[in-house]
């Protein structure tokens, strides 16, 4: 029996590899639509609820404004999103889907579904994995990982 390395015994390493592989899988699937994985995530948020403030999209995706703004700018340049200044807060912008993004929804969703089916990813194990990952992420959220770590004392 081959002994596993310390690295191979780490849950964080398996999560990292799975995340990387999912990103690659989606990248290949979304390439014909000239979409990146982060752009697809923005579309998922807006297909669920259109006309959101940039900060609300960022909160839902766990992305900062500095990361999100270039993604949104590229999507505007590709004709998928529009940006309008908020009436309530002149510093904020409302991001909306264009007709192109609305019309592409079915084809993009079908391509992703077909890829997931072909890889045998959808099923009972996927549902259990999703539930477990949601529980893990909820536990991390309670830890407040976003706060600044305490300074080392001299």
Produce one character per residue of 72-92: b if its CB has 16 or more CB atoms within 10 Å, e if not: bebbeeeebbeeeeeeeeeee
Residue 71 lies in a domain: yes
Residue 15 lies in a domain: no
Residue 83: what are its φ and ψ, rounded to 5°? Answer: -130, 130
- Looking at residue 146, its pLDDT comes to 61
**Structural domain boundaries, residue 100:** 24-143
The pLDDT tens digits of the residues spanning 85-97 come to 999 998 899 999 9
Three-class DSSP category at 84: strand
Q: Which ranges of the chain have pLDDT less than 50?
A: 152-154
CA neighbor of 116 nearest in space, from 14, 30, 16: 30
CATH number of the domain encompassing residue 32: 1.10.10.10
Residue 109 lies in a domain: yes
Number of domains in the chain: 1
- Looking at residue 95, its pLDDT comes to 98
- Looking at residue 152, its pLDDT comes to 45
Residue 4 lies in a domain: no
- Which ranges of the chain would DSSP assign to H, the alpha helix? 11-30, 37-48, 54-61, 65-77, 99-118, 124-143
Cα 95 off chain centre by: 17
Residue 87 lies in a domain: yes
- Looking at residue 153, its pLDDT comes to 43
Query: How many residues make up the chain in this entry?
Result: 154
Q: How far is Cα 69 from Cα 78, in angstroms, rounded to an integer?
A: 14
What does the block give as tokens for 66? 């500095």
Quote the pTM value: 0.81
Sign of CA dihedral 71, 21, 136, 111: positive
- Looking at residue 72, its pLDDT comes to 98
Residue 128 lies in a domain: yes
Residue 6 lies in a domain: no
């Amino acid at each position: 029996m081959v002994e596993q390395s310390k690295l191979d015994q780490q849950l964080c390493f398996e999560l990292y590899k799975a995340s990387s592989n999912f990103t690659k899988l989606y990248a290949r699937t979304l390439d014909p639509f000239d979409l990146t994985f982060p752009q697809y995530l923005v579309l998922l948020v807006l297909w669920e609820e259109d006309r959101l403030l940039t900060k609300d999209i960022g909160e839902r995706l766990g992305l900062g404004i500095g990361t999100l703004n270039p993604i949104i700018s590229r999507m505007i340049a590709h004709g998928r999103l529009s940006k309008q200044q908020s009436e309530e807060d002149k510093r904020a912008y409302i991001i909306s889907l264009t007709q192109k993004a609305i019309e592409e929804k079915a084809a993009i969703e079908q391509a992703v579904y077909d890829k997931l089916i072909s890889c045998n990813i959808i099923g009972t194990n996927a549902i259990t994995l999703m539930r477990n990952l949601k529980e893990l992420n909820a536990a991390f959220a309670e830890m407040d990982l976003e706060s600044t770590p305490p300074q080392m004392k001299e």
